[in-house]
Amino acid sequence: MKKIPLILLSLIMIPAVQADELPDTQTELVSVPKLASQTYLKPRPLNAIPDGEFGDKVRKGYELFVNTQQLRGKYVGNELNCSNCHMDAGRKANASPLWAAYFAYPAYRKKNDKVNSFEERIQGCFTYSMNGKAPASGSAELVALSAYSYWLGMGGVMDMAKLDSPVPAISDALLLQGGKLADFPIPEKVKSMMTIDELAKLPGKGFPLVPKPPLAYSPVRGEKVYQAHCQSCHGADGLGYETAGVYSLPPLWGPDSFNWGAGMHRVNTAASFIYENMPFGKSIQLTAQEAWDVAAYVNSHERPQDPRYKGDVSKLMTKYHKHQGYYGQAVDGSPILGSHSYAINPKGE
Amino acid sequence: MMKLKIITLASLVLSFSVLADVPPSAAVCAGCHGQQGQGVEPLGPRLAGLPASYIEKQINLFQTGQRQNPTMQSMSMMVQGDAINQVAEYFAAMDVPLVKPHFRGEKADYPDATERLVYQGDWDRVIPACVTCHGPSGLGVGEFPRLAGQQASYIKSQLLAWQSGTRKGDLDGVMHNIATKLTPSEIDALSQYFATLK
């Protein structure tokens, strides 16, 4: 019998926190500063996805990732698609690429002594970023999204190791765990090139850390930045633009954007994303100060409620919002943010 | 019953004649852009169905020289004041042929390199998919004009204008940035693709 990986064992042995408590799967990723000399993993082109059962899962994952709206009302409760923030369908370095995230899970977190699998991380995206409902563990959607992420990551590291064979198909159960397992099937040539820990920290993971701003960030200054650089795509009201039912220019706040539990509501996370990835198709066009300020402006508007809300904004704020964000605060004379939030998963079944 | 039919017919005729009536301020445009803004290749591109705000902005850009075109430089000056909005609203309200939108994520593999650029972009060169800003099948979104069914010669001339800088007015130079990365053959292929999109 195969040895059960230690990390899996701990998964089995630690009971779920409390059944009624949503897991905090959108905790801050550790961002590292960008290095000029960095080279990044290059995922294989999408036409290299193999035929057959495994390839079908990978393709399905791509399709769900780019057109997440096909799950609207079922698992998605806003107008976003995964690819709105994960540029180039999760393939672009420094825009939280799937290939880097895949090898970083399961991730053990000291803070609450819990291990998050890759599947749980994606479930968190549905609960928070997509303001919807997480697909059940092991569901076809989670398998597909995991398969796509695995294929991008494994194909990329195999190419780095000069292995041009197809990415090996693995079981659904393994796909859902993520690549940071002691005995995850990794080709020998890749293993001799990189350790599991190195794989979990591939350059280009997450968003690179935006430099600290000279002044404390300010939504008031941010409004000016927004008007000058963001509004033509995202609208003066932040609600984005739609054509043929698709918000290709996504809403940044309001009822159809990510909710108060999503990682992007944190000013520092949004600032890092914006600094590196906006305006679209360009990079590092704003000063660090402008990126922080505009992130503060975007995130000082009302959006759908934090799904962990149980009727008391200030309690939730104390418990989950001790970070750089505006939940539970009044900004510029506005009502307390969180007190007039929009519905969670409004069209949910 | 008969009466009803006559009324319907009469109102149809009436509404058609109202539609066909080019406001005097737009008459100057109709010569090159067509009575209904359907476009007259190669004189003038199609204006029908473009957002009024977009048309207004373009008139302004021609007037201020941010869009350089010898004909439009002088023609745009003939539309001033309230007429700018009238013209824009008139052409914006005109019908455009229906295009069945193709949505991103309908498939992963686009064997055709042009379709790949349109629906997935080429991020190795940091070229986003055209449809991210121009909407599914390039139907137009907000300030980003409709490309579907526009004349190929016009799309090509505009991509070249974005490259050379004779067309400006894009925020932070986003379109200039993309256009400069396109090769001449990609520009030809993209222009043909959108012009013939059904």
**What is the DSSP secondary structure assignment for residue A76, as one 8-state letter?**
B
Which residue of A46, A65, A248 is in closest CB contact with B132? A248
- A80 neighbors A250 (Cβ within 8 angstroms): yes
Q: Is the pLDDT reported for residue B4 higher than 80?
A: no
**pLDDT more than 90, % of chain B:** 84
Q: Is the pLDDT reported for residue A279 higher than 70?
A: yes
Q: Is A126 within 8 Å of chain B by CB?
A: no
Q: What is the CA radius of gyration of chain B?
A: 19
Which residue of B107, B127, B141 is in closest CB contact with A243? B141
The answer as to whether A6 is a domain residue is no
Pairwise CA distance, residues B145 & B54, whole Å: 7
CATH architecture of B7-92: Orthogonal Bundle (1.10)
> Testing the interface with A: which of B117, B133, B137, B197 to mutate, by most A Cβ within 10 A?
B133
Provide the number of CB pairs (under 8 Å) joining chain A to chain B: 105
Nearest Cα of chain A lies from the Cα of B75 at a distance, in angstroms, of 27
The answer as to whether A3 is a domain residue is no
Q: Is the pLDDT reported for residue A64 higher than 90?
A: yes
Considering only CB atoms, which chain A residues are within 8 Å of B178?
281
Q: Is the pLDDT reported for residue A180 higher than 50?
A: yes
pLDDT at position A281 is 86
Q: Are residues A177 and A311 in the same domain?
A: no
The answer as to whether A72 is a domain residue is yes
Q: Are residues A81 and A182 in the same domain?
A: yes
> Testing the interface with A: which of B103, B116, B146, B177 to mutate, by most A Cβ within 10 A?
B103
Q: How sure is the predictor about A277, in pLDDT bands with cuts at 50, 70 and 90? A: very high
pLDDT at position B20 is 52
Q: Is the pLDDT reported for residue A232 higher than 70?
A: yes
Pairwise CA distance, residues A283 & A291, whole Å: 12
Q: CB B141 to CB A49 under 8 A?
A: no
Q: How sure is the predictor about B18, in pLDDT bands with cuts at 50, 70 and 90? A: very low
Q: Is the pLDDT reported for residue B172 higher than 60?
A: yes
Q: CB A47 to CB B109 under 8 A?
A: yes
Q: How many domains does chain A divide into? A: 2
pLDDT at position A94 is 95
Q: Are residues A38 and A184 in the same domain?
A: yes
Class of domain B113-195: mainly alpha
The answer as to whether A342 is a domain residue is no
Tally Cβ neighbours within 10 Å of residue B72.
Answer: 18
Q: Are residues A188 and A266 in the same domain?
A: no
Sequence-distant (6+) residues with CB within 8 A of B104 are A66, A67, A83, A246, A248, B119, B120, B129, B131, B132, B136
The answer as to whether A326 is a domain residue is no
- Please tell me the least confidently modeled range out of A18-27, B22-31, B60-69: A18-27
pLDDT in tens, A285-332: 999 999 999 999 999 999 999 999 999 999 999 999 999 999 999 998
Pairwise CA distance, residues A184 & A177, whole Å: 9
Q: Are residues A93 and A230 in the same domain?
A: no
Q: Are residues A58 and A100 in the same domain?
A: yes
How large is the ipTM? 0.87
User: Average pLDDT for residues A241-250, to the nearest whole number?
Assistant: 93
Q: How sure is the predictor about A349, in pLDDT bands with cuts at 50, 70 and 90? A: low
Q: Is A40 within 8 Å of chain B by CB?
A: no
Question: Domain limits of chain B?
Answer: 7-92, 113-195
Q: CB A243 to CB B128 under 8 A?
A: no
Q: Is the pLDDT reported for residue B180 higher than 60?
A: yes
Q: CB A280 to CB B132 under 8 A?
A: yes
Q: Are residues A193 and A245 in the same domain?
A: no
Residues spanned by the domain of A30? 22-199
CATH number reported for the structural domain that contains residue A50 in this entry: 1.10.760.10
Sequence-distant (6+) residues with CB within 8 A of A167 are A44, A50, A150, A151, A154, A155, A158
Pairwise CA distance, residues B143 & B170, whole Å: 9
Q: Are residues A86 and A139 in the same domain?
A: yes
Question: What is the DSSP secondary-structure string of B135-174?
Answer: -GGG--BTTBPP-TT--HHHHHHHHHHHHHTSB---GGGH
Tally Cβ neighbours within 10 Å of residue A67.
Answer: 18
Considering only CB atoms, which chain B residues are within 8 Å of A70?
105
Pairwise CA distance, residues A181 & A171, whole Å: 14
pLDDT in tens, A126-179: 999 999 999 999 999 999 999 999 999 999 999 999 999 999 999 999 999 999
Sequence-distant (6+) residues with CB within 8 A of A219 are A293, A296, A297, A300, A326, A331, A332
Q: CB B120 to CB A243 under 8 A?
A: no
**Which among A144, A126, A148, A147 is positioned nearest to A135, based on CA atoms?**
A126
Which residue of B131, B143, B172 is in closest CB contact with A248? B131
User: Average pLDDT for residues B127-147, to the nearest whole number?
Assistant: 94
CA distances from A59 to A54, A93, A256, B107, B118 (A): 9, 20, 27, 8, 19
Q: Please state whether A36 falls in left (phi above 0), alpha (psi between -120 and 50) or beta.
A: alpha
**Which among A249, A253, A289, A252 is positioned nearest to A271, based on CA atoms?**
A289
Q: Are residues A39 and A129 in the same domain?
A: yes
Q: Is B107 within 8 Å of chain A by CB?
A: yes
Q: Is B1 within 8 Å of chain A by CB?
A: no
Q: Is A87 within 8 Å of chain B by CB?
A: yes
More confidently predicted of B198 and B51: B51
The answer as to whether A334 is a domain residue is no
Q: Are residues A28 and A146 in the same domain?
A: yes
Sequence-distant (6+) residues with CB within 8 A of B88 are B52, B53, B55, B56, B59
pLDDT at position B6 is 42
pLDDT at position A114 is 83
CA distances from B194 to B136, B138, B191 (A): 12, 7, 6
Q: Are residues A153 and A299 in the same domain?
A: no
Nearest residue of B to residue A249 by CA position? B133
Nearest Cα of chain A lies from the Cα of B111 at a distance, in angstroms, of 7
Which residue of A65, A91, A248 is in closest CB contact with B123? A91
Q: How sure is the predictor about B21, in pLDDT bands with cuts at 50, 70 and 90? A: confident
The pLDDT mean for chain B works out to: 89
Tally Cβ neighbours within 10 Å of residue A95.
Answer: 21
The packing angle between helices B24-33 and B82-92, to 10°, is 50
Q: Are residues A137 and A42 in the same domain?
A: yes
Nearest residue of A to residue B170 by CA position? A232
Question: What is the DSSP secondary-structure string of A216-272?
Answer: ---HHHHHHHHHHHTHHHH-TTS--EEETTEEEE--SSSTTS--TTSGGGSHHHHHH
Pairwise CA distance, residues A349 & A16, whole Å: 25
Considering only CB atoms, which chain B residues are within 8 Å of A62?
105, 108
**B7-92 and B113-195 in the same fold:** yes
